[in-house]
């Protein structure tokens, strides 16, 4: 299937969700994150050349965001958000922290797995330090852009639980945005249901259902994105 062409068979569902119906529940769709960004660029072609700002979530969201920003000639920035991870599994999270101090926690999961208050506080503090370090490294003294009268497009390489995206949305609202769009290559249906009322529109090429979900399963070639590589996506400076 030529998934670029199949974009023109996009279907709107859940009110403000735009997906590629033919790709629902499919896996190993995108060659890599850059390819995923190109697919999303076709889905969001109406934003081309506007004053919209794309905010990539580092690290994995930046290659996707940079690819789409290049294709659509849009301003690219980044939104520093980090998962609050489990003590025994740094890949799994139970919440997220944003650059402005916004904290979103999955209290049901915290209770379910029996995390202590100490463990939770330590996880939050660890995430805060990571966010502060990344913000200083990537943004330095640069001011946050004025987004009060612009569309803010948040991009990541996928949405699993949705808590990272929730923290990103809340942070942008606090910065004055009243027009927020999510654009992701892949996401779990339940997470989209949580997010759909929080933003004006969600573009997701590959919506998946089921009891298990991994963002990486949407990609033929998947690898971690090195922090130092992020600089090449939005600045001419070197780390």
- The predicted-structure confidence for 174-228, as pLDDT tens digits, reads as follows 999 999 999 999 999 999 999 999 999 999 999 999 998 999 999 999 999 988 8
- Answer CATH for 3-80+146-234 from 3.40.640.10, 1.10.1740.10, 3.40.109.10, 3.40.50.2020: 3.40.50.2020
DSSP strand pairing (103-105 vs 17-20): unpaired
* pLDDT confidence of residue 14: 56
pLDDT digits (tens, 9 = 90+) for 24-63: 999 999 999 999 999 999 999 999 999 999 999 999 999 9
Q: Is the pLDDT of residue 235 over 60?
A: no
Per-residue pLDDT band at 10 (split at 50, 70, 90): very low
For residue 239, the model assigns a pLDDT of: 38
* 5-11 own/partner pairs: CB under 8 Å, 24+ apart: 7/39, 7/42, 7/43, 7/205, 10/43
pLDDT class of 6 with cuts at 50, 70, 90: very low
pLDDT of amino acid 1: 43
- Whether 185 and 206 have beta carbons less than 8 Å apart is answered as yes
Interatomic CA distance for residues 24 and 20, integer angstroms: 7
Instruction: Kindly indicate the confidence band of residue 12, based on its pLDDT and cuts at 50, 70 and 90.
Output: very low
pLDDT tens-place string over residues 63-122: 999 999 999 999 999 999 999 988 787 777 889 999 999 999 988 888 888 888 999 999
Q: Could you give the residue ranges of the DSSP H alpha helices within the chain?
A: 3-6, 33-43, 61-72, 107-113, 117-139, 163-174, 189-195, 231-234
pTM (2 d.p.): 0.90
- Of the candidates 141, 186, 179, the one whose C-alpha atom is nearest the C-alpha of residue 47 is 179
User: Do 32 and 221 touch, CB atoms closer than 8 A?
Assistant: yes
- pLDDT of residue 2 exceeding 80: no
Indicate the domain borders of the chain: 3-80+146-234
């Amino acid at each position: 299937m030529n998934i670029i062409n199949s974009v023109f068979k996009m279907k709107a569902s859940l009110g403000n969700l735009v997906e590629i119906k033919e790709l629902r529940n499919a896996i190993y769709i995108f060659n890599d994150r850059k390819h995923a960004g190109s697919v999303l660029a076709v889905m969001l072609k109406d934003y081309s050349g506007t004053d919209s700002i794309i905010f990539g979530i580092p690290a994995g969201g930046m290659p996707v965001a940079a690819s789409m920003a290049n294709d659509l000639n849009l301003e690219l920035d980044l939104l520093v958000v980090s998962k609050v991870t489990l003590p025994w599994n740094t890949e799994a999270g139970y919440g997220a922290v944003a650059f402005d101090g916004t904290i979103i926690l999955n209290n049901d999961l915290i209770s379910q797995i029996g995390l202590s208050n100490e463990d939770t506080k330590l996880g939050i503090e660890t995430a805060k330090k990571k966010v502060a370090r990344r913000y200083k490294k990537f943004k330095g003294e640069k001011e946050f852009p004025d987004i009060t009268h612009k569309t803010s497009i948040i991009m990541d390489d996928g949405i699993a639980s949705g808590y990272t995206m929730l923290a990103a949305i809340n942070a942008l609202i606090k910065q004055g945005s009243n027009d927020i769009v999510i654009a992701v290559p892949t996401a779990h249906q339940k997470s989209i249901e949580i997010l759909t009322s929080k933003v004006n529109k969600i573009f997701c090429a590959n919506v998946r259902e089921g009891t298990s979900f991994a963002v990486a399963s949407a990609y033929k070639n998947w690898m971690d994105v090195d922090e130092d590589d992020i600089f090449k996506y939005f600045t001419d400076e070197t780390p």
